[in-house]
Amino acid sequence: MAAADGSLDTRLAKNEQLLRKIFTNSSDVVFRKIPLNRQSALLMIYVDGLVDTKTINESLLRPLLSVNGPRDKGRTGEIRQALAQQLVAIADTETTTALRDVIRRILQGNTSIMVEGWHEALIVRAQGAEKRSVDKPDNETSLRGPRDCFTETLRTNTSLLRRRMKNPNLKMELFVVGERTRTDVVIAYLGDLVVHSALIEVRRRLGDIPFKDLVDSGYIEEYIQDSHWSPWPQVQNTERPDVATSSILEGKVVIIVDGSPFALIVPMTFWAGLQAADDHYERFEYAVFNRSLRYGLAVCRVTSCVCRIDYV
């Protein structure tokens, strides 16, 4: 990937040759070259399955092919201006000159558009990958409360938190973990409530992760825990957005990994493992009674195990 560290060239053929070399044997990466006039052509690159092909064909290709400006004008600046005006009206766009950024954006499900004579690429956001819809939680069921759960899509999960906390202090920092997988990881917290020492430690540990591959939140859970020999869980995981929201409101940090339907919550205490989702929705007296009952049974269980060990 050393060749990917440079910048785009003004020659479209050179950019295409380099990108085709990088995406060798990648049958899902689509290269579509469209002539604009005798002197200029347009190259569109995207990953089939990660973009909305209907949006590509109807909202991008059709307007670009029907617009008269680029075809009638031969100057690169005029072509660029006409295309930019057309694209801004139909899609969310940005520009970049770095080849590495172009590759990363394409693999994230965006569409890259390059034109002969340009030294930059237009990145059009037209994602449309298949994803699982928000469903009921399978593991953390409750009698009361919401019936939604996290999915494998990062932005779906962050939106579930935003819906519950319409607060500008809700921060969602993005990290990229894994040299090979380049997995997006978000840490969510309330800026005015978070325990800053815990936030700083989470940032440090995420930055120090040596993984080349990251496919699930369990990888991060194993790495950021304090001790690998502790019999008690040190990182809480949940599939419920309401549990994650309640933890954020307690000043904790929630870690969301793209591709994983489970969020991580840190720091975790022993008592947090004895709480249930229903505790937030039952009457105060009933919730306190149930929680006290769990605490008492947990203490009895631990002490009985200790007594048996001593007896043996």
Let me know whether 184 and 235 are in one domain: yes
Select the more confidently predicted residue: 291 or 149. Answer: 149
pLDDT of res. 70 = 47
pLDDT of res. 95 = 85
Let me know whether 18 and 111 are in one domain: yes
Give the 3-state DSSP-derived string for the chain, with helices as H, strands as E and coil as C.
CHHHHCECCCCHHHHHHHHHHHCCCCCCEEEEEEECCCCCEEEEEEECCCECHHHHHHHHHHHHHHCCHHHHCCCHHHHHHHHHHHHHHHCEEEEECEHHHHHHHHHCCCEEEEECCCCCEEEEECECCCCCCCCCCCCCCCCCCCCCCCCCCHHHHHHHHHHHCCCCCEEEEEEEECCCCCEEEEEEEECCCCCHHHHHHHHHHHHCCCCCCCCCHHHHHHHHCCCCCCCCCCCEEECCHHHHHHHHHCCCEEEEECCCCCEEEECCCCHHHHCCHHHHCCCHHHHHHHHHHHHHHHHHHHHHHHHHHHHC
Let me know whether 225 and 260 are in one domain: yes
Q: Is residue 70 part of a domain?
A: yes
pLDDT of res. 312 = 46
Task: Pick the range with the lowest mean pLDDT from 72-76, 138-142, 271-275.
Answer: 72-76
Instruction: Judge contact between 99 and 4, C-beta under 8 A.
Output: yes
Assign 67 a pLDDT band (cuts: 50, 70, 90). Answer: low
Q: How many domains does the chain have?
A: 3
From CA 278, how far away is CA 144, in angstroms rounded? 6
Q: Is residue 181 part of a domain?
A: yes
pTM, rounded to two decimals:
0.76
Let me know whether 244 and 295 are in one domain: no
Select the more confidently predicted residue: 283 or 213. Answer: 213
pLDDT of res. 23 = 92
Let me know whether 26 and 118 are in one domain: yes
Q: Is 251 left (phi over 0), alpha (psi -120 to 50) or beta?
A: left
Structural domain including 22 reads 2-125
Nearest to 116 by CA among 146, 75, 85: 75
Mean pLDDT of the chain: 82
| Confidence check: pLDDT of 144 > 80 | no
Let me know whether 290 and 225 are in one domain: no
Let me know whether 92 and 202 are in one domain: no
Q: Is residue 146 part of a domain?
A: no
Q: Is residue 35 part of a domain?
A: yes
From CA 137, how far away is CA 158, in angstroms rounded? 17
Cross-strand partners of 107: none
| Confidence check: pLDDT of 85 > 80 | no
Q: What is the mean pLDDT of residues 127-150?
A: 80
